[in-house]
Structure 1
Amino acid sequence: MDAVGIAKLATSIADTGTRQDVAIAVLKKSQDIQAAAATQMLEAVQSAAPAPNLPPHLGNHINTTA
């Protein structure tokens, strides 16, 4: 291999490494955003109060003949 070929190969390898670093950073950021959204949704579900004063027998049977 000549010097130009070696330089092109080294540049290509460095460029590939940089692209992978950027892709990993973007992936981690998207995972952080998804985790924050999931946490927010879970907090919203947990803060929802149950319906007040409903009898305990509601929701125990399903009408399958309707």
Structure 2
Amino acid sequence: MEISSSIVGGAIAQPLDQERQVRVLKKALEAEAATALALIDAVPKPQPVAASNPPHLGQNIDTRA
């Protein structure tokens, strides 16, 4: 009888262990997401670059060449 009761006890404990593991995994994923967002926010935003050419250059395209 002791063997069967330990098997039943183990079968009941498995879903609880799985639920606990899923909760730990979800918390780990949430922590990873928060870290990723913090890293993305830490990247400096690019500043607009002024054109280095004079205003009359680069306005026309020769399509017959």
TM-score normalised by the shorter chain: which range applies?
Answer: 0.5 to 0.7
Moved over 3 A (4+): 3-6, 49-56
Structure in which a larger fraction of residues adopt helix? 1
Question: 2-side partners of 1:9 and 1:26: how far apart?
Answer: 25
Aligned to 2:61: none
Aligned to 1:33: 31
Cα RMSD (Å) of the superposition? Answer: 2.4
Q: Percent identity?
A: 23
Q: How many residues align?
A: 53
The TM-score, its normalising length taken from structure 2, stands at 0.60
Q: Which has the higher Rg, Structure 1 or Structure 2?
A: 2
Aligned to 1:14: 12
- Gaps spanning 5+ residues in structure 2: where? 53-65
